[in-house]
Amino acid sequence: MRQNEGVYVGIVKNNRPLVAGNWKMNGLKNAVQEIIKLQTSLQDLVSLGCDVLVCPPATLLSHFEAVVSEGQVPLLLGGQDCHMAVSGAHTGDISAQMLKDVGCEYVIVGHSERRSDHNETNEMVQAKAKAAIEAGLIPIICVGESEEERVAGQTLTVVTSQLRGSVPPESKGNEIIIAYEPVWAIGTGKVPEVKDVADVHQMIRKELASILGHGGQELRILYGGSVKADNAGTLMAIDNVDGALVGGASLRADDFTGILKVYSS
Ligand code: PGA
C-alpha cells in the first residue's frame, strides 16, 4: 500500500471491492450531468481496482442507463429498494424484475432508513433479497446497530440477529453483498474506530460462514456511514472491508471520485 498526501492509494483486497453510491431521495433529471462527469473522472483514474455502482432514485434510472450504456467506463446501476413480489397490486412499489428491466444489476435492501421509515423487518428484508436474486440482481443487504444499542454493548448481538434474519440461507456467497452501516454513523460525520469496524466485519465474516458455509468467504462486506474522501483510505484498508456504501459523498462526482481513488494505483 502506498501513501500519497495522507490518502492511502492502491489498496488491494482478496475480493474485488465495490463502491456503491446511494443517492437516497435526491436528484432531478439534470443530475445526469454528474454521471457524465463521473465517467470522465473515472477515465482519468489509472487501473481502478474496484467496481463502481450508482443507486439513484427510481425516477432517474432510465436517464442514467441511457448515459451509462453509451459510456466507455463500466458504471453499474442499482435500485434502492424492491418489493418482494414480482408484480401485482402494490401501489407505489417497484419489483426487482422492473429494476432488472431498466438496467440494474444490484439493489439495496434493508437500509436502516427503510427499516425505520417503513417498519421493514428482517423477514421482509430476506424476502426482498430472495426476490432480487430470483430476478438476477445482487441484493446489498444492510445491517447495523443504533446509537442506543452500541452504547448498551449490543452491537455484535444486534448485527448477528439481523444477519440471521435477513440473509437468505440458501443463497450462494457471490449472489449477495452485506453492508455494515452503524445507524449512528449515517449522515452524521461520525465514524466508528478502526478497531470497532474490524471487529464487526470479522464477526460478520464468521457469521456468514456459519449461515452460508464456504460462500461466506467470497462474499463482499461493505462499510457504510459517513464515508468521505479523507477517511476512505483508512476505512477501506481494514481487514474484511471490501468496499463502501456511500450516501452524501456520492452525489457529486468530485466527492465520489475522491473516494474511488483509494482503489486506484
Ligand atoms: P452517508 O450515508 O454516507 O451519507 O452517511 C450512507 C448510507 O446511508 O448508505
Per-residue pLDDT of the chain (265 residues; tens, 9 = 90+): 344 434 455 677 778 999 999 999 999 999 999 999 999 999 888 788 999 999 999 999 999 999 999 988 889 999 999 999 999 999 999 999 999 999 999 999 999 999 999 999 999 999 999 999 999 999 999 999 999 999 999 999 999 999 999 999 999 988 999 999 999 999 999 999 999 999 999 999 999 999 998 878 889 999 999 999 999 999 999 999 999 999 999 999 999 999 999 998 7
Residue with CA closest to ligand 1 atom 7: 247
The pLDDT tens digits of the residues spanning 147-189 come to 999 999 999 999 999 999 999 999 998 899 999 999 999 999 9
Query: How many residues are recorded in the chain?
Result: 265
Place of cell 460525520: 189
Whether pTM > 0.75 for this model: the answer is: yes
Residue with CA closest to ligand 1 atom 9: 247
Angstrom distances, CA of residue 79 to CA of 29, 31, 40, 198: 16, 16, 23, 28
- Please list, residue by residue across 4-37, b when 16 or more beta carbons sit within 10 angstroms of its beta carbon and e when fewer do: eeebbbbbebebebbbbbbbbeebeeebbebbee
CATH of 3-263, one of 3.90.550.10, 3.20.20.70, 3.40.190.10, 3.40.50.720: 3.20.20.70
Letter for the amino acid at 77?
L
CA 130 to chain centre: 17
pLDDT of residue 135: 98
Place of cell 464456504: 214
CA dist., res. 215 & res. 4, Å (int): 35
Place of cell 444492510: 142
CA dist., res. 132 & res. 139, Å (int): 6
pLDDT of residue 4: 40
Active site residue 111: yes
pLDDT of residue 10: 66
Task: With CA atoms as reference, report the closest residue to 149 among 182, 111, 187, 181.
Answer: 182
Name the residue of 22, 26, 250 to mutate for ligand 1: max ligand atoms within 8 A of Cβ: 22
Domain segments of the chain as ranges = 3-263
What atom in ligand 1 is closest to the CA of residue 248? 4
pLDDT of residue 153: 97
pLDDT of residue 14: 72
Residue 153, Ramachandran bin (φ over 0: left; ψ between -120 and 50: alpha; else beta): left
